[in-house]
A and B are shown apart, each in its own frame.
Chain A
Amino acid sequence: MNNLDIGYLVRRPEAGSVLSLVVVIAFFVIFGGVHLGNLLSAASWVNFAANLGIVALPVGLLMIAGELDISIGAMIPAGSMSIAVVSGYYELPIVVGIAVSLGLGVLVGLLNGILAVRTSVPSLIITLGTLVAMQGIVLTASVLITGNASVPLNAPEWTKMIFGQLLGGQYQVIILWWLALTAIYAAVLHQTRFGNWIFAMGGDKESARNAGIPTRRLTVWLFVLSSTSASFVGMCGAILFNSAQVSGGMNYIFNAVVSVVVGGVLLTGGFGSALGIFFGTITFAIVNQGIYFTSIDRNWSSLIIGIMLLVAVLMNNTFRNMALRLPPKKL
């Protein structure tokens, strides 16, 4: 599809997110009097986007497949707390801490996934249950074990290099992880059969299964992916800041969903792209953090996000209808 045809471009899922990114930046430049160079090179929103983006990608994949995972809100503090308790409080090797942290993510993901495929309960409710339960477990465990809701962690040099370095003094190394993961997700979603399976599942799960797609296994793995990604982000945070905090994962729930939807994914499933989610996350991060660079009162950022989401939703619908109506091109 190397054809630079406007009709095709506008019908791609990421068209909306690129458009909203341009509109938001233009809005900030015109009404906020922001210097474009300062805004684009600011570390604050890039760091924010990287942390959010790593979670938003698998959440987006789940949404393409027609499921939802809000337990990520508890998995970020859980990932950060478990490595801090294991390697910081008990002073076990950092590798063990990393393994426990990611292992916890896999475990909760398996629980979510298995419950989602075994019962007819919507995944929103299932993951709401695991969200609340994990929150309680993390808080209780950290208070019981360490007597404190914030645990220090001193990671060795090499783990800091990989997970918690500040590039140029301000850019978190997690940005590189985010870029790499985006590339991987884009390749998997758009180039391999797994990607096709995910789209097929979101379009019509029954038919997908009848076509021989292992929908159950795929669903479980997607849940594992999203909660492990969340605990990965929590882990990197703990390594970077040398301590784990229990609070502050809840915002990720709505932020991730909004990024994904602004990125052109339909909640009803079957439509979206990894690149779209990438741009959606950037747009969200620029609104959320970039507003500090403008003369606009930061309290209005929620309003911008809300309107952006509603507009995105309306546009996605239009784009999807256009995409469905587009006659196939003659080669």
Chain B
Amino acid sequence: MATATQNKIVAMPASEGLWASFGRLSRRPEVGSFLGMIAVFLFFAIFAGQVFVSPAGFASWLNVAAEIGIVALPIGLLMIAGDLDLSIGAVIPAASLTVAIISGYYGAPDSVGIAAALVLGLLVGFVNGYLVLRTGVPSLIVTIGVMFAVMGLTLGFAVMLTGSTSTAIVPDAISKALFGQFIAGMFQITIFWWILFAVIFAWLLHVSPYGNWIFAMGGDKESARNAGIPTERLTIALFMISGFCAAFIGVSQAMVYQSAQVAAGQSFIFNSIMCVVIGGVLLTGGFGSVVGVVLGTITFAMVNQGIFFTTFDPNLGSVIIGALLLVAVLMNDTFRKMALSYSPKSKK
């Protein structure tokens, strides 16, 4: 039982000594992902030429990065806390279809459809968290089960209600402006949502006391609980956040493409995990940063989209991503060992 006594755990100011020494810098989780991003950017700037560094080139990968990024952020938090969530792959199309069926097919106001979709995401997240806590089964398996179930429910209800697996929606002016707008004709508004989400998550993980709790949980759940951290509530909250973010992407996809399909979303599962790992988060938990996750997402999206501007076969993109992932993983491993073996500097 989680005790209600929540000892205030004093947050260590994360920014302190950021530039203090190179040794310290190289131990930060985002260094590897930053270097990777620079390397990938230079690679494509050279091989893809002018197009890649033009606004259109930036837009192409930023649009992709924003969609994955909003999902990758909560996945990163979950992974830092030592859990995984694969059900997002089913929540994204489920939310998309919910808003399309309620607001498009039945013609209810957009706000009702959007609210329903977001609540659906929170609900799935709650189920995930609750099952993980109650059963003690690894979240990988639990969320695979929930993924299949949500997928089946989405398919079943979509066909039962509308007779088809894809539904059209014409967003009204406000929701179009909020979720489906293209700024300057090419930058999806999702990019700004992503920035907002990233700032909130960065505050959550690195400034607020919850961040320390998340790290503590990922490091050692048992000890974290003994230290008075409400691990159960926190786990459920994290799963609900990730369900919410997935639903958010589902809603914004429906608004951008003006239609919702059952089959969208599967690719998000592994893509978001890869972004997070390239961003320096350890799957074993307790190590990572929001900046790292953002950089990892950018790297992933650059490779994913940049390859189309080059003369290379587009399929080479996944070879690069796979290689990046393995390199990132090996580097993270080394960095983590360095971080753990690092003796704190004596006060200057």
A137 within 8 A of B: yes
Q: Does the CB pair A303–B156 fall under 8 Å?
A: yes
A157 within 8 A of B: no
A239 within 8 A of B: no
B283 within 8 A of A: yes
B183 within 8 A of A: no
B267 (CB) vs chain A CBs: closest residue: A250
| Residues of A contacting B152 in the complex (Cβ-Cβ under 8 angstroms) | 299-306
Given known A268-B138, A300-B156, contact A143–B148 (CB-CB < 8 A): no
Q: Does the CB pair B319–A254 fall under 8 Å?
A: no
> Quick one: which of B312-348 are within 8 Å of A by CB?
313, 315-323, 325-326, 329-330, 332-333
Q: For chain A, what secondary structure do more than half of its interface residues adopt (helix, strand, loop), or is it mixed? A: helix
> Quick one: which of B127-162 are within 8 Å of A by CB?
131, 135-138, 140-142, 144-153, 155-156, 158-160
CB within 8 A of B149: which of A128, A135, A267, A307? A307
CB within 8 A of A132: which of B165, B322, B333? B322
Q: Does the CB pair A120–B318 fall under 8 Å?
A: no
What is the bound-complex CA distance between A135 and B277, given in angstroms?
19
> Quick one: which of B246-277 are within 8 Å of A by CB?
266, 270, 273-274, 277
Q: Does the CB pair B320–A136 fall under 8 Å?
A: yes
Q: For chain B, what secondary structure do more than half of its interface residues adopt (helix, strand, loop), or is it mixed? A: helix
A28 to B: closest C-beta gap in Å: 15
| Residues of A contacting B138 in the complex (Cβ-Cβ under 8 angstroms) | 267-268
Q: Does the CB pair B148–A302 fall under 8 Å?
A: yes
A261 within 8 A of B: yes
| Residues of B contacting A124 in the complex (Cβ-Cβ under 8 angstroms) | 84, 140, 283
B284 within 8 A of A: yes
| Residues of B contacting A126 in the complex (Cβ-Cβ under 8 angstroms) | 326, 329
Given known A126-B329, A128-B325, A313-B135, contact A136–B315 (CB-CB < 8 A): yes
Q: Does the CB pair B151–A309 fall under 8 Å?
A: no
B279 to A: closest C-beta gap in Å: 13
Q: Does the CB pair B156–A299 fall under 8 Å?
A: yes
CB within 8 A of A303: which of B141, B148, B266, B325? B148
B158 to A: closest C-beta gap in Å: 8
A191 within 8 A of B: no
Given contacts A300-B156, A310-B145, 5 further A-B contacts (CB under 8 A): A129-B323, A137-B319, A299-B159, A301-B152, A303-B148
24 example contacts (A-B, Cβ-Cβ < 8 A) are as follows A122-B284, A124-B84, A124-B140, A129-B326, A130-B322, A130-B326, A131-B270, A133-B323, A133-B326, A135-B315, A136-B318, A139-B315, A140-B316, A254-B144, A297-B159, A299-B159, A300-B152, A302-B149, A302-B151, A303-B156, A304-B152, A306-B147, A310-B149, A316-B137
